[in-house]
Structure 1
Amino acid sequence: MPAGTLYRGREGMWSWVAHRVTGVLIFFFLFVHVLDTALVRVSPQAYDDVVATYKTPIVALLEYGLVAAILFHALNGLRVIAVDFWIKGARYQKQMLWTVVAVWTVLMLGAIYPVLGHAARELFGS
């Protein structure tokens, strides 16, 4: 690996890829969200039907994925800011990435019940 490359093939590159992928996923969610919300002006009944489909356990899993994407994108964005603007950021980018992963994991474990609790009750009873 050439000297001076910070990301190529290492943790930083995968963080870069994950940041872009989560950004695209969040954009797609926002696009669909705006469209389905706009549906209320066209047909309130159609809007109600669409919203009813969102109350399924499968959609709860997708919501958990959305929470995962938003949290990673936000935390990694803070890491990118630190790498760019902190004078020692590039030196500690690997440690900061693993800190992001650790914080993300803890937050995702904490989000299991609030996000997936309804789906679990729906599937297995209360």
Structure 2
Amino acid sequence: MWSWVAHRVTGVLIFFFLFVHVLDTALVRVSPEAYDDVVATYKTPIVAVLEYGLVAAILFHALNGLRVIAVDFWSKGPRYQKHMLWTVVGLWVVLMIGAIYPVLGHAARELFGS
């Protein structure tokens, strides 16, 4: 049940990000100065934390989507769906730990110095 809710919530969050991304990219045609201001805002440590959240949402949505496909199209899928869910969660945790430095490294250097 909760994986269903998390899948829907992450899908909505990813859609919202893509919508905002298209709008701020289109801003370059309207006002290059305003676009530069927006890009400068994206280089702050707070936005780096939001980017880490985006990575978390995309990874969970993708991994859980593969699990849903396996449950729907594999004849033994419904029998193993709980095991597959815990596999998805474990893989997600490992990948999120691996994403800490690449995503948050710049923000940590900016906050605490090189």
**1:34 & 1:71 partners in 2: Cα distance?**
21
**1:91 & 1:40 partners in 2: Cα distance?**
51
TM-score, length basis structure 2: 1.00
Structure 2 residue 37 is the aligned partner of structure 1 residue 49 = yes
SS of equivalent residue, structure 2 residue 78: coil
Q: Return the offset for 1:106.
A: 0.2
TM-score, length basis structure 1: 0.90
**1:122 & 1:25 partners in 2: Cα distance?**
27
- CA offsets per residue over residues 30-88 of structure 1, 9 Å max, x none? 00000000000000000000000000000000000000000000000000000000000
Q: Size of the alignment, in residue pairs?
A: 114
Q: Percent identity?
A: 92
Q: Which runs of 4+ in 1 moved over 2 A?
A: none
* Higher helix residue share: 2
**2:2 & 2:75 partners in 1: Cα distance?**
22
Gaps of 5+ in 1: 1-12
When Rg is computed on C-alpha atoms for both structures, the one with the higher figure is 1
Q: Return the offset for 1:98.
A: 0.2
What is the root-mean-square deviation in Å for CA atoms of aligned residues? 0.2
